[in-house]
Amino acid sequence: MNLALLKSNSASAAAITARERLSRMRTETAKADSRELLEFAIRREFPGRIAVISSFAAESVVLLHQVAEIDPETPVLFLNTGKLFGETLRYRDRLQEALGLTDIRCIGPHPADRDKFDPKGDLWNRDPDACCNFRKTVPLKKALAGFEAILTGRKKFQTEERAAMQPIELLDGRFRFNPLANWNLAELQDYIAGHRLPAHPLAEDGFLSIGCMPCTRRLNPGENYRDGRWAGYDKRECGIHFGMDGEGI
């Protein structure tokens, strides 16, 4: 048997094992709430091998608060694209202090990639997908090396595509937990108020879904949650969360 075939068989066996593990985890956590799912992921299933992906946006504090109560040393990966609102950067620092998070890792695009793909800094206006790719997707892929699982703050109500997500998913051999998948906006806002958590300063100024400054605007009356992101473009995702159990969303 040649080497290529051996590698192919090994990869297939690993995929089957991952699928079986996914099925088991879904069964064991079928009735778990967000905190129970986080306990399961952080303490039992992937201790020391799981990270949070957080944008430190409007509702990020809910997930970060629950993670910090379980294990404040859980790595938090924060993408500083170089295009963020100053309010978001200051909010990140405030939450680190308020929640006691000890391992926030700020990652961003390589300087050589900025020089190559966006020397004038206006790629967001010409090709937002390409801008998101080198500023977010590529750096995050590198930062995730060594982690077997990730935690995200994605919710079903955010977009039509996300409505089909599961609390636990499998993507490219890595497990993805979405503890807040079934929460709605009112529940998130009530949690923030009820626990007296710091609010993102832009949330009270008409921003709900907050990303990079050039690609985020206030919502107008009657608009949906994510209509303020990439307004005028047929775009709902930056790219870092594409894929659901191997399928594009």
Tell whether the torsion through CA atoms of 95, 226, 240 and 43 is positive or negative.
positive
Query: Residue 143 and residue 78: Cα distance in Å, rounded?
Result: 10
Query: Residue 228 and residue 77: Cα distance in Å, rounded?
Result: 24
What are the helix (H) ranges across the chain?
3-28, 34-39, 60-70, 86-99, 111-117, 123-126, 128-132, 138-143, 185-194
- Determine phi and psi for 84, rounding to 5 degrees: -80, 160
- Determine phi and psi for 52, rounding to 5 degrees: -95, 140
Query: Residue 190 and residue 215: Cα distance in Å, rounded?
Result: 27
Q: Coil, strand or helix: which one is 234?
A: coil
Longest Cα separation, the chain = 64
215 a catalytic residue = no
Task: State the DSSP code for 162.
Answer: G
Q: Which two tokens stand for residue 58?
A: 């409007």
Q: Which residues contact 196 (CB under 8 A, 6 or more apart)?
A: none
Q: Which of 131, 132, 212, 238 is catalytic?
A: 238
Query: Residue 209 and residue 63: Cα distance in Å, rounded?
Result: 15
Active site residues: 238
